[in-house]
């Protein structure tokens, strides 16, 4: 399958026939027919029901068409952005981030960076910390904004810069009796259902939290596991339990949860910028400078 075949297919759908598409594309009708045949061969099925006039899309064609349109739009955007970079009218920077940074740090960093570099395209890619190094190796991103708890693996070909330490706080349902207190004792998790997150086989984050509580003599019951932090907040807000989150996440305008400092907790999370070692990139350097500056103010 190639973009020409996809383009021909979409033009046939939009114009109503192969002949009409050929006129619009300024090619021979046989070229349309040949490319459609090759596309259908690659896909393993017919895109059009040719027994009907005008031709109608088969179920495969109905599935394929909107996705083909999106593919063509993405290809066009890629070409336009690449052209701008090639002639020096812009640049590109890939930023991997964890969702929790949307609550505080990332919006400020993006705003300040865009003020300094309005013509640079920021490609923002949401990824858990454990997946960011892979994207850095693939050059899908230039920097990963990661969160770790306790010790973490440091790849020898990556640089790790601490943005700031982010203490843990308890999150409770707003209507819970313990939410009226000025602080939260870590031992209270013994009787409070625990919301574990993120639910991902490659992320040890939630398991480290749970293991730490057990080390402190607290063995909370995990009633629910959330894929990401927004879901964890929603489950807490629904009264299904409590959890621990980094303090920077407390500014999220939720009225159904309460955040409390935790008594007896000795660990915190670390927000870290991960980049390829030895990378020479002025745009990246400027982004890191803004990131570290905003982090110092957090």
Q: Which pLDDT value is given to residue 50?
A: 85
**Mean pLDDT taken over the chain:** 91
The matching CATH number, chosen from 1.10.287.70, 1.10.10.10, 2.60.120.10, 3.20.20.70, for 3-86 is 1.10.10.10
Strands 91-97, 143-149: pairing is parallel
* CA 115 remoteness from chain centre: 23
Domain ranges of the chain: 3-86, 91-163+271-296, 165-269
pTM: predicted TM-score of the whole model, two decimal places: 0.72
Q: What percent of the chain lies above the pLDDT cut of 90?
A: 74
Out of 87-91, 277-281, 289-293, give the one with best mean pLDDT: 289-293
Q: Residue 41: which pLDDT band, with cuts at 50, 70 and 90?
A: very high
What pLDDT, in 10s, does the model give residues 105-152? 999 999 999 999 988 888 999 999 999 999 999 999 999 999 999 888
CA–CA distance, 138 with 140 (Å, rounded to integer): 5
Q: Which two tokens stand for residue 40?
A: 């259908």
How does residue 85 score in pLDDT terms, banded at 50, 70 and 90?
Answer: low
pLDDT at 97 over 80: yes
Phi first, then psi, for residue 180 (nearest 5°) are -85, -10
Q: How far apart are CA 167 and CA 162, in angstroms?
A: 14
pLDDT at 245 over 90: yes
What pLDDT, on the 0 to 100 scale, is given for residue 86? 66
Q: What pLDDT digit, counting tens, does each position of 200-234 carry? A: 988 999 999 999 999 999 999 998 999 999 999 99
| Residue 167: predicted pLDDT | 94
Per-residue burial over 230-240, b if 16 or more Cβ lie within 10 Å, else e, is: bbbbebbbeee
pLDDT the model gives residue 146: 97
Topology, domain 165-269: D-Maltodextrin-Binding Protein; domain 2 (3.40.190)
The answer to whether 3-86 and 91-163+271-296 have equal CATH topology is no
Confidence of residue 89 (pLDDT cuts 50, 70, 90): low
User: Tens digits of per-residue pLDDT, 141-187?
Assistant: 999 999 999 888 899 999 999 999 999 999 999 999 999 999 999 99
Q: How far is CA 269 from CA 147, 168, 186, 276, in A?
A: 7, 7, 16, 22
**Integer Cα distance of 292 and 294 in angstroms:** 6
User: What pLDDT shows up at residue 87?
Assistant: 56
Superfamily for the 91-163+271-296 domain: Periplasmic binding protein-like II (3.40.190.10)
What confidence tens digit (pLDDT) does each residue in 44-79 have? 999 998 888 788 899 999 999 999 999 999 898 788
Residue position matching structure tokens 């057990």: 214
């Amino acid at each position: 399958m190639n973009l020409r075949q996809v383009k021909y297919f979409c033009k046939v759908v939009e114009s109503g026939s192969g002949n009409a598409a050929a006129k619009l594309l300024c090619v021979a009708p046989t070229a349309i027919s040949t490319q459609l045949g090759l596309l259908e061969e690659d896909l393993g099925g017919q895109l059009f029901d040719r027994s009907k006039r005008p031709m109608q899309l088969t179920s495969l064609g109905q599935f394929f068409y909107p996705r083909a349109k999106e593919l063509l739009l993405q290809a066009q955007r890629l070409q336009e952005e690449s052209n701008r970079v090639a002639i020096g009218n812009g640049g590109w920077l890939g930023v991997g981030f964890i969702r929790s940074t949307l609550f505080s740090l990332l919006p400020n960093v993006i705003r300040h960076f865009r003020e300094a570099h309005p013509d640079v395209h920021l490609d923002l890619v949401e990824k858990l910390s454990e997946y960011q190094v892979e994207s850095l190796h693939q050059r899908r991103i230039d920097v990963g904004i990661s969160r770790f708890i306790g010790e973490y693996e440091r790849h020898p070909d990556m640089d790790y810069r601490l943005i700031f330490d982010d203490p843990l706080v308890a999150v409770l349902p707003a209507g819970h009796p313990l939410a009226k207190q000025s602080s939260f004792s870590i031992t209270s998790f013994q009787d409070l259902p625990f919301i574990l997150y993120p639910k991902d086989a490659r992320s040890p984050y939630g398991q480290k939290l749970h293991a730490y509580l057990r080390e402190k003599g607290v063995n909370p019951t995990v009633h629910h596991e959330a894929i990401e932090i927004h879901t964890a907040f929603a489950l807490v807000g629904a009264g299904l339990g409590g959890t621990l989150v980094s303090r920077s996440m407390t500014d999220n305008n939720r009225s159904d949860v309460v955040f409390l400092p935790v008594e007896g907790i000795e660990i915190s999370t670390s927000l870290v910028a991960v980049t390829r070692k030895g990378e020479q990139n002025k745009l990246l350097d400027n982004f890191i400078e803004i990131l570290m500056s905003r982090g110092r103010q957090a």
